[in-house]
């Protein structure tokens, strides 16, 4: 049996190793680190290949590939979104991702991304809220208390300075689950019986619901002046959360307009409705919040550069740790022109 060469081995981060890595770093520190990597990559936005994700839709959900490259490193994520899965005891979202060296095409990292996507989504939300939310914002309404809710709450606490989270879900068991998981984290947690109760006194309103439907989680009369809306549940065609009237009253910030106009809440608006790309705010090329009474809306659908940033972060942080397996992923014959010879020599 031939032993794999060093070039054949690719670091693979399993779910178990990812969880160990998170605890090794600390959840809050990892969220802050991811936010810093994402912000740094957004600030060099123009270097990246950009394309809307490649999506395969069905009645039950969607399977997507999300690729990008900065010219030196290539990355992609495989991810699905199937809201009905929870009824069968399955995750709504699962994912894995890969980084590769552009010069050779050789992969340099393969990793689970179900856990990592939850972290990067929350880190992105909090990084943007730090930029757009009203100054001194301390309270967030978390509407939709599924798998992402704890990550969003902890990221807003660690990155945007939120001290209280007000929870609401149509399923009280989901709210109780979220509240129990957030106990002892330093956040004040309030369980609410309606969405209206949840947004009372909140300066940041996060919506994160799973149904693949034209839903209205926030009605126009629920949202007053001077708030930041973090809309992350609407992420594919036919799936929305925010009433069009709110969108028309607010200033909308997005990751990548060609994707968000198809998948985000702004799919409800005219194709030429003005939006601002968040990378332009981060680089000082566009304004963010300009007044205390302004409604800012981050219509976030998730974009490949955020995953690229998360993959970069993990690649850098596993160096010198035991939190990965060397995976025999690549055929690496002594003579690169003799792949068949390698196969022959492996017999018996």
DSSP, residue by residue, 76-134: EEEEEE-GGGGGGT--S--EEEEEEETTT--EEEEEE-HHHHHHHHHHHHHHHHHHHSP
Query: What pLDDT does 143 receive?
Result: 97
For residues 53 and 306, what is the distance between their CA atoms, to the nearest angstrom?
Answer: 13
The encoded tokens of residue 124 equal: 């992105």
pLDDT digit string, tens, across residues 206-263: 999 877 677 888 988 999 999 999 999 877 788 899 999 999 999 999 999 999 999 9
Query: What pLDDT does 348 receive?
Result: 67
Selected catalytic residue, list 6, 41, 88, 235: 235
For residues 107 and 48, what is the distance between their CA atoms, to the nearest angstrom?
Answer: 18
Query: What pLDDT does 7 receive?
Result: 80
* Structure letter (DSSP) for residue 56: E
Angle, CA 296 vertex, CA 295 and CA 299 arms, to 5°: 130
For residues 192 and 183, what is the distance between their CA atoms, to the nearest angstrom?
Answer: 16
Question: Catalytic: 292?
Answer: no
Q: In this structure, are strands 214-218 and 139-143 parallel, antiparallel, or unpaired?
A: unpaired
Contacts of 89 (CB under 8 A, 6+ apart): none
Residue 258: burial class (beta carbons within 10 Å; 0-12, 13-18, 19+): exposed
Give this prediction's pTM. 0.94
* Structure letter (DSSP) for residue 4: P
Contacts of 224 (CB under 8 A, 6+ apart): none
For residues 266 and 257, what is the distance between their CA atoms, to the nearest angstrom?
Answer: 9
Are the beta carbons of 70 and 47 closer than 8 angstroms? yes
> In the chain, which stretches have pLDDT less than 70?
1-2, 212, 348
pLDDT digit string, tens, across residues 99-142: 999 999 999 999 999 999 999 999 999 999 999 999 999 999 99
Helix (H, G, I), strand (E, B) or coil at 3: coil
């Amino acid at each position: 049996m031939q032993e794999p060469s060093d070039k054949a081995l690719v670091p693979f981060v399993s779910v178990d190793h990812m969880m160990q890595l998170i605890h090794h770093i600390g959840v809050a520190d990892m969220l802050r680190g991811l936010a810093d990597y994402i912000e740094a990559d957004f600030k060099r936005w123009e270097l990246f290949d950009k394309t809307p994700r490649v999506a395969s839709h069905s009645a039950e959900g969607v399977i997507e590939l999300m690729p990008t490259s900065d010219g030196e490193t290539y990355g992609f994520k495989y991810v699905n979104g199937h809201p009905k899965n929870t009824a069968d005891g399955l995750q709504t979202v699962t994912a894995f991702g890969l980084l590769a060296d552009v010069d050779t095409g050789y992969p340099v990292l393969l990793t689970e991304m179900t856990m990592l996507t939850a972290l990067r989504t929350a880190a992105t939300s909090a990084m943007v809220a730090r930029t757009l939310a009203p100054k001194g914002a301390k309270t967030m309404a978390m509407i939709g208390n599924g798998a992402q809710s704890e990550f969003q709450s902890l990221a807003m606490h660690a990155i945007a300075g939120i001290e209280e989270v007000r929870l609401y879900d149509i399923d009280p068991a989901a709210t109780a689950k979220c509240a129990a998981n957030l106990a002892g984290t330093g956040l004040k947690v309030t369980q609410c019986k309606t969405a209206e109760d949840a947004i009372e006194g909140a300066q940041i309103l996060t919506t994160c619901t799973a149904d693949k439907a034209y839903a209205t989680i926030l009605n126009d009369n629920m949202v007053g002046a001077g708030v930041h809306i973090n809309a992350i549940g609407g992420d594919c065609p036919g799936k929305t959360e925010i009433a069009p009237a709110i969108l028309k009253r607010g200033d909308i910030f997005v990751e990548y307009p060609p994707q968000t106009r198809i998948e985000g809440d702004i799919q409800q608006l005219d194709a030429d409705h003005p939006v601002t790309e968040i990378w332009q705010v981060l680089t000082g090329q566009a304004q963010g919040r300009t007044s205390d009474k302004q409604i800012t809306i981050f219509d976030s659908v998730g974009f490949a550069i955020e995953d690229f940033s998360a993959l970069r972060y993990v690649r850098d942080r596993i160096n010198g740790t035991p939190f990965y397996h060397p995976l025999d992923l690549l055929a690496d014959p002594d003579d690169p022109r003799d792949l068949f010879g390698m196969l022959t020599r492996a017999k018996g």
